Amino acid sequence: MDSGGSLAVALWANESVIPNNTWLKVCVNAASPFLSFNAALNCTTAFFQGYPLSLSTVSREAHLIIPYPETDSWYLSLQLVCPQSPEGCEAASVPVETTLSLVPCLNDCGPYGQCLLLRRHGYLYAGCSCTAAGPQVPTLGWRGWSCTDNSTAQTVAQQRAAALLLTLSNLGFLAPIGLSVRRCLLVEASVYAYTMFFSTVCWLRPGGWEVRVSTHCPPHTHTLRSLPPTLQFYHACDQPGEAVLCILSYDTLQYCDFLGSGVAIWATILCMARLKAALKYVLLLLGTLVFAMTLQLDHRGAWNVMGPCLFALVVMVTMWGHRCGHRRRCYPPSWQRWAFYLLPGISMAAVAIAIYTSMMTSDNYYYTHSLWHLLLAGATAFLLPPRDKHAEPWACSQGLACRSQLCAGRREELYAVT
């Protein structure tokens, strides 16, 4: 009456009790027993195509695994077959040891998988989640009913190379972080640091790699075995096989990584718009809340990021157009700013979006996603607005000393009244 898992059948026979040139044919059938073997020996009945097994002096063991057996009465039929002397089977007797069991997962899914209890559309069943396949690249890694198929598995060297690509590429965010701090854009620097932290995943120990099999749980599932809570960065827990390091649940890290990426783009565009501080921070907070809501609905929805970013672009273009009309010249006015900063940054952002939306596949994920990290960080560094020419580098507290004089470091050009 089990509705999930696997039916395991195992048979053993002592070699000394099996007559020479004799086979022991076995059939496992549902709905009706198999009464007599025909010439084809295919275990077929009027109701069911059975599962054939055989024992002989050469092969004294037989194993059968039936994933998700249908709910019915199952029958085990055994018969001696003597092709050379049929009369010899009439007096022969072969003791067979038989073991039948219902297991949630075969061999507990082995070292490259995790046995899960899943509920879908009112059905409850067990199955193996091959964690070595990786959530982002399911076509690579170990596969099969019990995660024993290594036809597409990666070597440990390939896993470590992929982990290094995805993690070290995030170090490109050090450039926009440093520029933001130098230009007193501390809020933007905090956003970039948040994004880099949750997207990075490479921890090395003095004795070598600290490795473990990751525990990626699909949504709405419950594990059959309890595992100790661990910490992880996103792309460290995103890797297949052994080069894995986890410090939080995978879903939490993935959510934080997507949230940080979207808010980083949002914050950069708002910073380029050169809004007043109060309006900029209000829009930054509202945009972050919108990102948090939309990502909760769908982590991978394209419009979760594109929608707010397009709105930010409209705000930036509106502000730039207003300045162009007010000053009666192009904004930003410097051609060097356009040639050496804005155009390279816009080009890098366009290439990054093209890679993310149309070029990223399961086969090239490690390379294209690492390139996406570098392009996104580079575009951010190029597009950040320059430091005010009246302010000194790193002088973020200069405005606090302003009393009755004009605070040159403020874009609003307001007098601070004592």
Residue 390, pLDDT score? 63
On the 0-12 / 13-18 / 19+ scale of CB atoms within 10 A, 66 is middle
| Residue pair 407/199 in contact by the 8 Å Cβ criterion | no
Query: Tens of pLDDT along 344-379?
Result: 999 999 998 888 888 887 778 788 888 988 999 999
Q: Rounded to whole angstroms, how far apart are CA atoms 358 and 252?
A: 26
Q: What is the phi/psi pair of residue 276, to 5°?
A: -65, 150
Provide the pLDDT for residue 340: 93
Q: What is the pLDDT along the chain (418 residues), one digit of tens a residue?
A: 556 778 889 998 876 667 676 778 888 888 888 877 655 557 777 777 888 888 877 788 888 888 888 888 888 888 887 777 766 677 777 888 899 888 888 888 888 888 888 777 777 778 888 865 444 454 567 888 788 887 777 777 777 787 788 888 889 999 999 999 999 899 999 999 999 988 874 332 222 222 222 223 333 333 333 333 333 345 556 555 444 556 666 677 778 888 888 899 999 999 999 899 899 999 999 999 998 998 888 876 767 777 878 888 899 999 999 889 888 888 888 889 999 999 999 999 999 888 888 888 777 878 888 898 899 999 999 999 987 766 666 667 544 444 444 444 444 444 444 4
Give the whole-angstrom CA distance, residue 90 versus residue 98. Answer: 22
Rounded Cα distance between 141 and 214, Å, is 13
Is the pTM for the entire model greater than 0.75? no
Nearest of 167, 172, 157, 230 to residue 201 by alpha carbon:
167
Supply the pLDDT for residue 181.
Answer: 93
Residues 67/48, Cβ–Cβ less than 8 Å? no
Cis status, amide bond into 386, omega within 30 of 0 = no
DSSP symbol at 387: P
The pLDDT assigned to 203 comes to 31
Strand blocks (E) in 31-122? 51-55, 61-67, 74-81, 97-103, 114-120
Peptide bond into 332 cis (omega under 30): yes
| pLDDT at residue number 25 | 84
User: pLDDT at position 201, please?
Assistant: 46
Q: For 244, how many CA atoms within 13 A lie in the half-sphere containing its CB?
A: 22
